[in-house]
């Protein structure tokens, strides 16, 4: 079965960086875009960007363009999202999610359990 398992909670200081991992299994890793979505406490969902495991190409939401980097390790079917220059308003749960459609972007059908990132001095 398809599974996405994320790394654990992190506490970071303002200005630092955080890297969240997303270990996938149960499907052809290179066939489906991997997205990252975040959710601040008590707030809604915010799409951050995607990475195409087939090409390594990325597409970031404009809001995160200069601070986010999405990468892969295809040998272990794992994706990573690194966010730099953290601020207190980056405190959120960060989810990875698989695109439902092979080789395209449509919507997200399988999600990781989320990783809480807390930014505090």
Partner 1 sequence: EIVLTQSPATLSVSPGEIATLSCRASQSVSYLAWYQQKPGQAPRLLIYDTSDRATGIPARFSGSGSGTDFTLTISSLEPEDFAVYYCLQRSNWPPGFTFGPGTRVDIK
**In the complex, least distance from residue 75 CB atom to partner 1, rounded to whole angstroms:** 26
Phi-psi group of 15: left, alpha or beta (phi > 0 → left; psi -120 to 50 → alpha; rest → beta): left
What does the chain come to in residues?
A: 121
- Residues at the site binding partner 1, with contacts judged by CB under 8 A: 35, 37, 44-47, 49, 59, 61-62, 95, 97, 100, 105-109, 111-114
**In the complex, least distance from residue 61 CB atom to partner 1, rounded to whole angstroms:** 6
- Nearest residue (CB) to partner 1, 30 versus 39: 39
Q: Residues of 67-92 as b/e, b for ≥16 C-beta within 10 angstroms? A: bbbbebeeeebbbbbebeebeeebbb
**In the complex, least distance from residue 85 CB atom to partner 1, rounded to whole angstroms:** 22
């Amino acid at each position: 079965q398809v599974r996405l398992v994320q790394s654990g909670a992190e506490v970071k200081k303002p200005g630092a960086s955080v890297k969240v991992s997303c270990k996938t299994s149960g499907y052809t890793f290179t066939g489906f875009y991997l997205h990252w979505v975040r959710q601040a406490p008590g707030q809604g969902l915010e799409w951050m960007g995607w990475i195409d495991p087939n090409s390594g190409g990325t597409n970031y939401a404009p809001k995160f363009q200069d601070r986010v980097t999405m990468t892969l390790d295809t040998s272990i079917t794992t994706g990573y999202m690194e966010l730099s220059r953290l601020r207190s308003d980056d405190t959120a749960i960060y989810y990875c999610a698989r695109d439902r459609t092979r080789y395209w972007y449509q919507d997200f059908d399988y999600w990781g359990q989320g990783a809480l990132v807390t930014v505090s001095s």
